[in-house]
Copies of this chain bind each other. A is one copy, B any other.
Amino acid sequence: MNLPQFSAAKLSRFLPMMVWAKAYTRADLSNDGLAALIVTIMLIPQSLAYALLAGMPPEAGIYASIVPIIAYAIFGSSRVLAVGPVAVVSLMTAAALGKVAETGTADYATAALTLAALSGAMLLAMGLLRMGFIANFLSHPVIAGFITASGILIAAGQTGSLLGIGMKGASLPELLHGILGKLSDFNWRTALIGGLSLAFLFWVRRRMKATLLNFGAGPVLADVLTKSGPVFAVAASTLTVWGLGWAEKGLAVVGSIPAALPPLSLPGLSPNLLAELALPALLISIVGFVESVSVAQTLAARKRQRILPDQELIGLGAANLAAGFTGGFPVTGGFARSVVNADAGAETPAAGIFTAFGLAFAGLALTPLLFFLPKATLAATIIVAVLGLVDLSILRRAFGYSRADFAAVAGTVFVTLIFGVEAGISTGVLVSIGLHLWRSSRPHVAEVGLVAGTEHFRNILRHKVVTNPAVVTLRIDESLYFANTRFLEDLVLERTANAPDLRHVILMCSAVNEIDMTALETLEGLNHQLKDRGITLHMSEVKGPVMDRLKRTNFLWQMTGQVYLSQYEAYTALTARR
């Protein structure tokens, strides 16, 4: 654990901003400015939509996209990552908050601040303690399965809003039950607007660009128009609802959004609330971090830039703390917006800062225009966005590759759909780690013999080798530690049980990087038991650090045999001796 020393050089490690801000050029400014404009336009409907997905008032989505972006720009290591509310984390937020407060209440909003601040503090602590490695415990198939299942849950949940049915639920059974129980709320106007928005947005995503190019539009124009698709949908549906007066006829609209800058807000800090939100905050932190780092790495690789995972923890931690104190909710680096930002030519995190200003302006000036924006249109934008995340082929690919990976991904998908996001991601992590531990509790051990005419020893089952009935050599292919040491003991005792000519057992430790205390005690026991049977125990090719540790115990004195530097030396000495 290295705590920061405050010198300028060190400081720039913790403040990547100091590096790029010093070299900032006029060209950077114009590139960043254009990228910020495009991202701002894209983020206005998206921020509102994800806020509703998280169960928050729409303005919270705007707030969560302002100060957190600036905080990340200062501390983050990616040049183009765009931070803010994203689909999966918003879903996890709704699931976590749904257990502690009622949607729409002040308690709910306060709990959201607490969740963001708690997650921020955790990320920051992990970053300072250089614990970026914990992200490694989410295996690729598990995260892919989790995101797919979350996408399905989100799409299913938004289907309700699309039909005018206000429904809640953290899992497929709850969502289906919610839809069936409220079918009478069906509103044809909402469904019409929602359905048209959905069809239009799918067309934008799949066909619009090709169509525009066919009609002779230039590629840049086609690209910009395609990216503005959601804005058209928002504008058209808002005008329709306003013109036809449908808001008075039961069609849910966004309604009045206070025209304000992000407020200074204080997260709730009651011990009960903190205790209840600790696990969700941890899961949100890890999922958000893993998602964000993978986006950041993909984009950095294009430009041969580097992402520092520990610095990313600090950047995301700062962003979430900022969200917790400025009326937001948990945020992370988003895929779609970051890609748009990069494609639009963003050169430095200044683009993020400009985006924040753009959204602040939108929050102050444009919100009255969004009064008649139908929630169904926002639901349609979410559905189109998340269906891009759904990739069930991961199940097939994992099945084709290994049973363990398949078990982890299938368990994650199934549990996420049936029991919700927290249970799902926990299952994924636990199944992955459990399967790994189970496998490592069975270390690979091969009986080896001498390849004639060489000094090599190879597996007797796979190679033609010379053996001697008085000497058995077992090559241990893994470190010995508490989980696998009993297996080794059983194996040695079994191999030596019915071998009347056997005099020596050599444990070849060329791949043993560690012998922990449990393994040491097992070796002591093994030594005793073999001694009782008149068999001596030897070791060969013990690595330096392992040997140093063994020398601190009295095991080497108790051992009936010797430690040989090389296996060949051991084998020739023991076979000659006979």
Q: What residues of chain A have their CB less than 8 Å away from a CB belonging to chain B?
A: 133, 135-142, 301, 397-398, 400-402, 404-405, 432-433, 436-442, 444, 454-456, 462, 477-479, 481-487, 511, 513-514, 516-518, 520-521, 529, 544, 549, 552-553
When the two chains form their complex, are residues B437 and A137 in contact, meaning their CB atoms are under 8 A apart? yes
CB closest chain-B residue, reference A398:
B517
**Judging by beta carbons under 8 Å apart, are A552 and B478 in contact?**
no
A482-B520 in contact given A477-B511, A553-B401 (Cβ < 8 Å): no
Copies per assembly? 2
**Closest residue on chain B to residue A293 by CB atoms:** B486
CA distance A522 to B462 in the complex (A): 29
A395 to B485, CA, bound (A): 21
Q: List 7 A-B contacts (CB under 8 A).
A: A136-B487, A139-B517, A401-B517, A404-B516, A436-B483, A455-B456, A477-B511
CA distance A442 to B130 in the complex (A): 14
Cβ–Cβ contact B133 & A432, under 8 A = no
B133 and A441 within 8 A (CB): yes
Contacts of A456 in B (CB 8 A): 455
Complex Cα distance, B406 from A517, in Å, reads 9
Tell me the bound Cα distance from A484 to B139 in angstroms. Answer: 10
Task: Give the residues in chain B near A481, CB-CB below 8 Å.
Answer: 139, 436
CB distance from A527 to the nearest CB of B (A): 13
- A520, B394: Cα distance in complex, Å: 14
Given contacts A400-B553, A433-B433, 5 further A-B contacts (CB under 8 A): A133-B438, A142-B482, A400-B552, A436-B482, A439-B479
* A521 contacts across to B, CB distance below 8 A: 140
Which residue on chain B has the smallest CB distance to residue A136? B483
B402 pairs with A139, CB closer than 8 A: no
Chain B residues near A553 (CB-CB < 8 A): 400-401
Q: With A441-B133, A462-B544, A485-B136 known to touch, is A549 a contact of B511 (CB < 8 Å)?
A: no
Asked if A477 and B518 make an inter-chain contact with CB atoms under 8 angstroms apart, the answer reads no
> In the complex the two chains form, is B402's CB within 8 Å of A516's CB?
yes
Given contacts A401-B520, A482-B432, contact A514 B439 (CB under 8 A): yes
Write the nearest CB–CB distance from A226 to chain B, whole angstroms.
28
**Known interface pairs A462-B544, A544-B462, A552-B401; A516-B139 also in contact (CB < 8 Å):** yes
Give min CB distance, A434 to chain B, whole Å.
Answer: 10
- Please, how many angstroms separate the alpha-carbon atoms of A426 and B76 in the complex? 36
Q: Given the complex, which residues of B lie within 8 Å of A135, measured CB to CB? A: 486
Contacting residues, chain B, for A455 (C-beta < 8 A): 454, 456
In whole angstroms, how far apart are the Cα atoms of A439 and B454 in the complex?
A: 35
Instruction: Tell me whether A433 and B437 are in contact (CB under 8 A).
Output: yes
Cα distance A400–B514 when bound, in Å? Answer: 15
Task: Kindly name the residue among A444, A517, A518, A529 whose own CB sees the greatest number of chain B CB atoms within 10 A.
Answer: A517
Complex CA–CA separation, A540 to B184 (angstroms) = 66
Q: How far, in whole Å, are A405 and B518 apart by their CA atoms in the complex?
A: 9
**Measured CA separation A520–B398 after assembly (Å):** 11
Asked whether, in the complex, the Cβ of B405 is within 8 Å of the Cβ of A139, the reply is no
Instruction: Chain B residues near A442: list those with CB within 8 A.
Output: 133
Q: Which residues of B contact A478 (CB under 8 A)?
A: 478-479, 513
**Separation of A514 and B444 alpha carbons in the complex (Å):** 10
Q: Which residue of B lies closest to A481 (CB)?
A: B436
Distance of A544 Cα from B140 Cα, bound (Å): 24
Complex alpha-carbon distance, A521 and B514, angstroms:
28
- Given the interface pairs A436-B481, A513-B477, A529-B301, the reply to whether A549 lies near B139 with Cβ below 8 Å is no
Give bound CA distance, A481 to B433, whole Å: 10
Q: Measured between alpha carbons, how far is A553 from B136 in the docked complex, in Å?
A: 23
What's the least CB distance linking A183 to chain B, in Å?
Answer: 31
* Chain B residues within an 8 Å CB radius of A516: 139, 402, 404-405
Measured CB to CB, the nearest residue on chain B to A132 is B486
Q: Which of B136, B402, B444, B483 contacts A513 (CB 8 A)?
A: B444
| Shortest distance between the CB of A471 and any CB in chain B (Å) | 21
Which residues from chain B contact A444 at a C-beta distance below 8 Å? 513
Please give the distance in Å from A155's CB to the nearest CB on chain B: 26
Q: Is the CB of B402 within 8 A of A549?
A: yes
- Cα(A513)–Cα(B405), bound, Å: 15
Which residues of chain B are near A397, meaning CB under 8 Å?
A: 517
Closest chain B residue to A475 by CB distance?
B511
